[in-house]
C-alpha cells in the first residue's frame, strides 16, 4: 500500500508537470504565430495605406475643383468671367487623369493559418505509450557489509529477461529527504565511504537496460549501517600532510622521516584493509626507496624509518613482502599510481593455550594488482586488532586507507 500510494503521487505529480509544461509551450507557440501575423500585417499594409491617402487626396482635390466650376457657372455675370478664368488656371495645374500605382489583387498579402491536425495524432500515440507501472524492479539490494567508516553494498539482478548495462546506486542519511548518487557503473558492488558509525542510511539501486537511455524502477529501499569507526592516520608527524577526514596521507617535502601510524588499532581480523595510491598534485607517485612500505603492526614503535621490523608485516613499493623484518621469497607487483593493496587476516587456532599467551598465528593474505601471497604470521601474544602504517622517503606519495 505504501509503494502504491507513492506511485500514485509520482504519476500525478509527473502528469501535472507535463500539463503545465505543455500549456506553456502551446501558449509560447501561439504568441509567436500572432506576432508573425502582426509583423506581416504592419509591413504589407503600409504601402496600401499610402496609396489610399493619395487617391483620397486626388478625389478631394477634384471635388474642390468641381465646386469651383459650379460656382463659376451659376455665379453673377459680373464675376463669372473672373471665376471661369480662375477655374481654368486651377484645372490646368491639377492632373485629374493620373492615379498612384495600385498593386494587383494577387500581389496583396492575404493572411491565413495552416494547422496540421496530425500533431494531435502524434501526441496521442506518444502519450498513450508514455510511462509504465512495474510491480517488481529488475535489480534488488542483496547485502550490506560493515567497513570502517563505510559500507560495502552488493546488489543483484532478479529479472532473468533484463540485460543490464549500468547500475545506479543512491543513498541518503537518516531522515534526509533527497537521495544522492554515489555510484554509476557496471559493477554489482561498491564501498560507500564517509559513513558515520551507528547511523542509519537508506540505499536503493536501479539499472539501465542494454542500449536504453532510461533507468529502471528503483529497488525497495533498505537500511544499512556500520558500527566500525573509520580508519584515520594519526596527526602531528612532520613528514606527512593529512586530508580533512584524516583518511588520506600525503608525503610532503619535509626532510623529516619516520613511520606514519593509524590513530588507533582499528583493523580487526576478518576485515579487509585497503591502501590505494592516489594521484597527488604532481600527477605521479614519489620516487621509490627500498625502505618504503605499507602494512600492519601489533603496536606503534617510534624511532623506525620503515615498517620492515619485528611485529609487523608489510609490502614495499617495489613489491617485496616483509614479515617481522625478514623479506619473503614471494614478491608482488610494484606499487604505482592507482595501485590498490589489500590485507586480509584470520585467526588460526593452534590449541587451548593460544589465547593465554602462547603462540598465536594469523593467516595473512596480501593482494596487489590481481596477485596475492598467503602466509602465516606467528606472534607471541593474542592480537585481533592491529595498527596500520606507512613510510615513504620521498615526497609525492599519497595514500588513501579504508
Predicted confidence at residue 240, as pLDDT, reads: 92
Integer Cα distance of 307 and 313 in angstroms = 7
- Cβ atoms of 272 and 392 within 8 Å: the answer is no
Specify whether the CB–CB gap between 373 and 326 falls below 8 A: no
CATH topology of domain 240-401: Jelly Rolls (2.60.120)
Burial of residue 155 (number of CB atoms within 10 Å: 0-12, 13-18, 19+) = buried
pLDDT per residue, tens digit, the chain (402 aa), is 888 898 899 899 999 999 999 999 999 999 999 999 999 988 888 888 888 888 888 888 888 888 888 887 776 766 777 777 877 887 777 776 666 777 777 888 888 998 888 888 888 888 998 888 878 899 999 999 998 889 999 999 998 888 999 999 999 998 788 999 999 999 999 999 889 899 999 999 999 988 888 899 899 899 999 998 889 999 988 889 999 989 999 998 888 888 999 999 999 888 899 999 876 544 455 678 889 999 999 999 888 889 999 999 999 999 999 999 999 998 999 888 888 999 999 988 654 544 444 578 899 999 998 899 999 998 888 888 899 999 998 888 999 999
The Cα 61–Cα 266 span in angstroms is 109
pLDDT at 344: 94
Angle subtended at Cα 216 by Cα 215 and Cα 218, rounded to the nearest 5 degrees: 110
* CA distance linking residue 185 with residue 3, whole number of Å: 27
Q: Return the sign of the alpha-carbon dihedral for residues 116, 122, 123, 124.
A: positive
Could you give the residue range(s) of every CATH 2.60.40.10 domain in the chain?
Answer: 139-226
- Asked whether the CA dihedral 258, 193, 153, 173 is positive or negative, the reply is positive
Closest CA to 348 of 372, 328, 378, 322: 378
- Residues linked to residue 288 through DSSP beta bridges, in sequence order: none
- Every domain range in the chain assigned CATH 2.60.120.920: 240-401
Q: Does the 139-226 domain belong in CATH 2.60.40.10? A: yes
Which phi and psi angles does 394 have, rounded to 5°?
Answer: -120, 150
User: Which pairs count as long-range contacts for 191-194, CB under 8 Å and 24+ apart, including other chains?
Assistant: 191/147, 191/150, 191/151, 191/152, 191/153, 191/402, 192/150, 192/151, 192/152, 192/153, 193/147, 193/149, 193/150, 193/230, 193/247, 193/402, 194/149, 194/150, 194/230, 194/245
Residues 6 or more apart from 298 whose CB is under 8 A from it? 311, 312, 379, 381, 383, 386, 387
pLDDT at residue 286, rounded to an integer: 65
| DSSP state letters, 164-214 | EEEEEEEEEETT-SS-EEEEEES-SEEEEESPPTT--EEEEEEEEETT--S
> How far is it, in rounded angstroms, from Cα 220 to Cα 7?
13
| Mutual angle of helices 2-74 and 77-93, in 10-degree steps | 130
Amino acid at each position: 500500500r505504501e509503494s502504491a500510494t507513492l506511485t500514485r503521487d509520482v504519476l500525478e505529480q509527473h502528469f501535472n508537470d507535463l500539463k503545465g509544461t505543455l500549456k506553456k509551450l502551446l501558449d509560447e507557440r501561439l504568441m509567436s504565430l500572432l506576432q508573425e501575423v502582426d509583423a506581416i500585417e504592419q509591413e504589407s499594409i503600409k504601402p496600401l495605406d499610402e496609396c489610399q491617402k493619395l487617391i483620397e487626396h486626388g478625389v478631394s482635390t477634384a471635388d474642390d475643383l468641381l465646386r469651383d466650376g459650379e460656382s463659376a457657372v451659376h455665379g453673377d455675370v459680373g464675376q463669372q468671367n473672373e471665376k471661369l478664368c480662375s477655374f481654368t488656371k486651377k484645372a490646368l495645374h491639377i492632373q485629374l487623369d493620373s492615379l498612384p500605382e495600385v498593386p494587383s489583387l494577387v500581389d496583396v498579402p492575404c493572411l491565413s493559418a495552416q494547422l496540421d491536425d496530425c500533431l494531435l495524432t502524434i501526441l496521442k500515440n506518444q502519450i498513450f505509450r508514455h510511462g509504465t507501472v512495474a510491480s517488481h524492479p529488475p535489480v534488488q539490494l542483496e547485502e550490506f557489509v560493515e567497513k570502517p567508516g563505510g559500507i560495502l553494498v552488493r546488489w543483484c539482478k532478479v529479472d532473468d529477461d533484463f540485460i543490464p548495462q549500468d547500475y545506479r546506486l543512491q543513498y541518503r542519511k537518516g531522515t534526509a529527504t533527497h537521495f544522492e548518487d554515489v555510484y554509476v557503473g557496471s559493477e554489482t558492488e561498491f564501498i560507500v565511504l564517509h559513513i558515520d558509525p551507528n547511523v542509519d542510511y537508506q540505499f536503493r539501486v536501479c539499472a539501465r537496460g542494454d542500449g536504453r537511455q532510461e533507468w529502471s524502477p528503483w529497488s525497495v529501499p533498505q537500511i544499512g549501517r556500520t558500527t566500525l569507526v573509520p580508519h584515520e592516520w594519526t596527526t602531528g608527524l612532520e613528514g606527512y600532510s593529512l586530508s580533512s577526514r584524516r583518511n588520506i596521507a600525503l608525503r610532503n617535502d619535509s626532510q623529516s622521516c619516520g613511520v606514519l601510524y593509524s590513530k588507533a588499532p582499528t583493523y580487526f581480523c576478518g576485515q579487509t584493509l585497503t591502501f590505494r595510491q592516489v594521484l597527488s598534485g604532481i600527477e605521479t607517485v614519489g620516487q621509490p626507496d627500498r625502505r618504503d612500505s605499507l602494512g600492519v603492526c601489533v603496536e606503534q614503535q617510534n624511532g623506525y624509518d620503515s615498517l620492515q621490523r619485528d611485529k609487523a608485516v608489510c609490502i614495499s613499493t617495489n613489491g617485496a613482502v616483509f614479515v617481522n623484518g625478514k623479506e619473503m621469497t614471494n614478491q608482488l607487483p610494484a606499487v604505482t599510481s592507482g595501485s590498490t593493496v589489500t590485507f586480509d587476516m584470520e585467526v588460526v587456532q593452534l590449541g587451548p593455550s593460544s589465547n593465554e599467551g602462547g603462540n598465536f598465528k594469523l593467516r595473512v593474505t596480501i593482494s596487489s594488482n590481481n596477485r596475492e601471497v598467503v602466509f602465516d604470521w606467528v606472534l607471541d601474544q593474542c592480537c585481533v586488532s592491529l595498527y596500520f602504517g606507512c613510510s615513504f622517503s620521498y615526497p609525492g606519495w599519497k595514500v588513501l586507507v579504508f
